[in-house]
């Protein structure tokens, strides 16, 4: 239950197909303490501020536990940060972490807001066309933290659970509702009871419920 790697990158322009895109996905591990602000880590940035970063997605987290699987699946060495995450952690996978859980890392306090949604930039980085879909299908998506209290963080520090959300809806369960069991409306309503859920996921699920109500007349 540790922050094993702290990873940052400023946005860079890369070529994907016939397009030039700006992305901060090329994270690299850094040593020493960094300031964690309300919206991002010191020295870090996002190319697409609509879908990445901001208060609900200040920190992208990925489990070191998944790296052996991906190294075998992709047939290459993968350094921490390879999935564009800021925090590579041990002991906190999608099944173990709940939406709304609160953790302490260094002198900062953070809260789980939603699963990470893999996008085409991950596929572009690793030159695997369907990688975003593979990540989605495995459930090894990672997740996001919002920052409740700013502070200083450093690789090697413990990731300490301070408070479990009482509804106990895991990141894995949120992924199930998003991608597989899209008509589990009871499950969706229960997830929407979690006040810590990010605004973007809340809006998406509320639209799904509204559409279902219209279908039913």
**pLDDT given at position 112:** 98
Q: How many CB atoms lie within 10 A of CB 131?
A: 21
* Per-residue pLDDT at 216: 83
Residue 99 is predicted with a pLDDT of 98
| pLDDT for residue 48 | 65
The dihedrals phi and psi of 178, each to the nearest 5 degrees, come to: -75, -40
Residues in contact with 114: Cβ distance below 8 Å, sequence separation at least 6, in sequence order: 56, 57, 99, 143, 144, 171, 174, 197, 198, 200, 201
Low-confidence ranges of the chain (pLDDT < 70): 47-52, 217
Q: What is the pLDDT of residue 13?
A: 87
What pLDDT shows up at residue 52?
64
Q: Maximum Cα–Cα distance for the chain, whole Å?
A: 58
| pLDDT of the residue at 119 | 85
Number of residues written out for the chain = 217
| pLDDT of amino acid 30 | 97
């Amino acid at each position: 239950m540790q922050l094993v790697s702290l990873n940052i990158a400023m946005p860079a322009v890369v070529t994907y197909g016939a397009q030039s895109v700006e992305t901060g996905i090329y994270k690299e591990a850094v040593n020493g303490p960094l300031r964690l602000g309300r919206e991002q880590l010191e020295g870090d940035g996002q190319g697409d501020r609509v879908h990445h970063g901001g208060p609900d997605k200040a920190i992208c987290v990925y489990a070191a536990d998944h790296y052996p699987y991906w190294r075998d699946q992709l047939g290459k060495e993968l350094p921490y940060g390879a999935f564009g995450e800021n925090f590579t952690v041990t002991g906190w996978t999608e099944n173990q972490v709940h939406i709304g859980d609160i953790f302490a890392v260094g002198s900062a306090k953070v809260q789980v807001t939603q699963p990470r949604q893999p996008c085409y930039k991950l596929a572009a980085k690793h030159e695997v066309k369907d990688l975003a879909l593979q990540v989605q299908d495995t459930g090894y998506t990672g997740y996001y933290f919002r920052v409740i209290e700013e502070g200083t963080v450093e690789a090697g520090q413990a990731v300490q659970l301070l408070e479990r959300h009482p509804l106990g809806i895991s990141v894995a369960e949120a992924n199930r509702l998003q991608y597989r069991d899209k008509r589990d409306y009871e499950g969706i309503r229960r997830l929407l009871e979690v006040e810590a859920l990010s605004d973007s996921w809340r809006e998406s699920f509320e639209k799904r419920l509204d559409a279902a109500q219209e279908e039913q007349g």
